[in-house]
C-alpha cells in the first residue's frame, strides 16, 4: 500500500541565469495521487528578494500566482485561484520566477503529494438555481450548501447548462456539472457532464430514453427523479428498461410520493434489479427546502467528482435525513454497501446519531425481516448474509432517518 503522503524538499541558493529568469523543479505524479500541495519561502522585506511561483504539467503552465501566495493546492476538481483544474497524473515542475535576488537569497520549496484514500463525503445531488426556477444565484446556492456542511453539490437546473459555466474560487466544496432533463414524461438527472445532450426536447417516452442514452454515451451518471411525483410531467412515464444508474427514493420532505417510490424500489430489488438509491432536496427557493435534506453520504475512493459519481453508481451510499444526524456504515472488515457478498458471510453495520425511540429495520426479498429497537445513540447490528439482498432503514415513528443501499448475493 502506497504511503498516504510523499514529500519532496528542495533548497535553491544558486541562480545561474540571474534575475529575470526561471528555475524549474521537476516531480512526478502517479494515478494514485488526490492532491498536490506546494509551499515555498524565501527572505523578503528587508532582504529585497522577489521570487514568483507557478506550476507546469506536461510542459504546459497550469497556474501562476506570482509572489502573492506561499501555499497552493491542486486537485482534479478544485484548486487554489489562479490554477487550472484537471487531471493530476504526469510530469510536473514547480516554476520559480526569479524577479529579484537579494543578499543571501535562498528559496525553500516543499512539495507534498497526498494519495487517494476512501472517505465518506456528504452532498446534494438534486437542486436548482435562478438558471431555471431555483430563485437563487449559483454562488448563493453554493453558499447555502456549504452552510449545510456539504462536501459536494449538483445544481441540476431544468433543461439548461448555463449554470455549469460558473465556477467558484476554491470554496472547499466540489460543484459538479449537471442538468435535469425535464420532459412531459418524467424528470431525470444527468450528472458529471457540462453539456450532456445537444437538444433536450422530448416528444415521446422513446425520446426520453434516447436522451438518456445520449447523455450516458457522453459520460453522464443518470438518476431517475421522484418517479411518483403527482404532476403531469413529474411522474416517471418513460419506463425502467432504458439504461440508468440510480433511482431517487427520497425527494425533499417525506411524503406519499416518496413512500410510493420506496415501495417500488423494493419491488425492483425483489425482481433482481440492482438499482442504487439516492436522495435530493430538490431545492427551489419557493419550496423553502434546505440543501442536504435529505443528503447522500457516499464512500468515495478520493476527493473528486469522478470518485463521487463512481460511488453513486456502485451503491456505496446512505441516504440520510440530514448531513449531521443518523448514519450507518459497515464496521471495518465488513463489505461496503452495494457489494456482492457470499452466503453466510458475517458482517456488522454501525449506526450512529440515533435517538431513543428510533428503530432499525432490516429488509430482504422477503420484506421486513427484523426490527431492532434503539435505546442509545450508537447501535451495531451484526448478522450473517442471507437471501438475495439485505438493506437497512432507520425510522422514528412515521418519519424516516436513513436508508442504506443493499448488500447483494454473489
With pLDDT > 70 as the criterion, what percentage of the chain qualifies?
99
What is the pLDDT, as a whole number, of residue 46? Answer: 62
> What is the per-residue pLDDT across 348-388, written as a single tens digit (0 to 9) for each?
999 999 999 999 999 999 999 999 999 999 999 999 999 99
For the domain bounded by 5-115, which CATH number is listed? 2.60.120.380
Write down the pTM of the prediction.
0.95
3-state secondary structure of 258: helix
Q: How confident is the model at residue 88 (pLDDT cuts 50, 70, 90)?
A: very high
Q: What integer pLDDT is reported at residue 1 of this predicted model?
A: 44
d(CA 208, CA 235): 13
Domain boundaries, the chain: 5-115, 119-324, 326-410
Segment (H or E) for 314? helix 305-314
Q: Is 3 helix (H, G, I), strand (E, B) or coil?
A: coil
For position 41, what pLDDT does the model report?
A: 95
- How far is 312 from 275, CA to CA, in rounded Å? 10
Same fold, 5-115 and 119-324: no
Q: Which fold has domain 326-410?
A: Immunoglobulin-like (2.60.40)
pLDDT digits (tens, 9 = 90+) for 20-72: 999 999 999 999 999 999 999 998 766 789 999 999 999 999 999 999 999 99
Please provide the CATH number assigned to the domain covering 119-324.
3.20.20.140
- Give the Cβ contact number of residue 110 at 10 Å: 16
- Indicate if the pLDDT at residue 322 is higher than 80: yes
φ, ψ (nearest 5 deg) of residue 380: -110, 125
Amino acid at each position: 500500500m502506497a504511503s498516504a503522503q510523499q514529500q519532496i524538499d528542495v533548497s535553491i541558493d544558486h541562480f545561474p541565469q540571474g534575475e529575470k529568469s526561471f528555475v524549474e523543479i521537476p516531480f512526478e505524479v502517479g494515478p494514485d495521487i488526490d492532491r498536490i500541495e506546494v509551499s515555498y519561502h524565501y527572505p523578503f522585506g528587508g532582504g529585497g528578494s522577489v521570487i514568483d511561483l507557478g506550476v507546469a504539467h506536461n510542459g504546459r503552465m497550469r497556474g501562476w500566482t506570482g509572489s502573492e501566495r506561499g501555499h497552493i493546492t491542486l486537485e482534479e476538481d478544485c484548486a487554489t485561484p489562479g490554477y487550472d483544474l484537471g487531471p493530476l497524473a504526469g510530469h510536473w515542475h514547480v516554476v520559480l520566477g526569479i524577479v529579484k535576488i537579494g543578499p543571501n537569497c535562498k528559496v525553500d520549496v516543499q512539495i507534498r503529494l497526498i494519495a487517494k484514500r476512501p472517505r465518506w463525503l456528504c452532498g446534494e445531488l438534486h437542486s436548482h438555481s435562478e438558471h431555471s426556477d431555483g430563485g437563487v444565484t449559483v454562488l448563493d446556492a453554493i453558499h447555502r450548501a456549504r452552510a449545510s456542511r456539504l462536501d459536494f453539490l449538483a445544481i441540476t437546473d431544468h433543461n439548461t447548462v448555463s449554470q455549469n459555466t460558473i465556477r467558484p474560487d476554491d470554496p472547499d466544496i466540489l460543484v459538479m456539472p449537471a442538468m435535469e432533463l425535464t420532459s412531459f414524461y418524467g424528470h431525470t438527472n444527468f450528472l458529471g457532464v457540462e453539456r450532456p445532450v445537444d437538444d433536450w426536447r422530448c416528444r415521446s417516452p422513446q425520446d426520453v430514453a434516447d436522451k438518456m442514452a445520449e447523455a450516458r454515451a457522453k459520460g453522464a451518471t443518470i438518476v431517475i427523479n421522484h418517479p411518483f411525483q403527482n404532476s403531469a410531467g413529474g411522474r416517471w412515464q418513460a419506463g425502467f428498461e432504458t439504461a440508468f444508474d440510480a433511482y431517487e427514493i427520497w425527494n425533499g420532505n417525506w411524503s406519499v410520493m416518496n413512500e410510493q417510490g420506496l415501495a417500488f424500489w423494493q419491488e425492483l430489488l425483489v425482481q433482481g434489479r440492482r438499482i442504487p438509491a439516492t436522495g435530493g432536496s430538490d431545492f427551489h427557493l419557493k419550496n423553502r427546502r434546505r440543501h442536504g435534506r435529505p443528503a447522500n453520504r457516499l464512500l468515495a475512493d478520493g476527493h473528486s467528482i469522478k470518485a463521487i459519481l463512481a460511488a453513486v453508481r456502485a451503491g456505496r451510499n446512505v441516504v440520510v435525513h440530514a448531513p449531521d444526524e443518523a448514519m450507518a456504515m459497515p464496521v471495518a472488515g465488513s463489505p461496503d454497501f452495494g457489494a456482492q457478498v457470499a452466503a453466510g458471510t458475517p458482517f456488522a453495520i454501525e449506526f450512529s446519531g440515533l435517538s431513543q425511540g428510533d428503530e432499525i429495520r432490516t429488509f430482504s426479498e422477503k420484506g421486513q425481516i427484523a426490527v431492532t429497537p434503539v435505546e442509545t445513540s450508537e447501535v451495531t447490528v451484526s448478522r450473517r448474509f442471507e437471501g438475495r439482498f439485505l438493506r437497512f432503514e432507520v425510522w422514528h415513528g412515521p418519519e424516516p432517518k436513513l436508508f442504506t443501499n443493499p448488500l447483494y448475493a454473489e
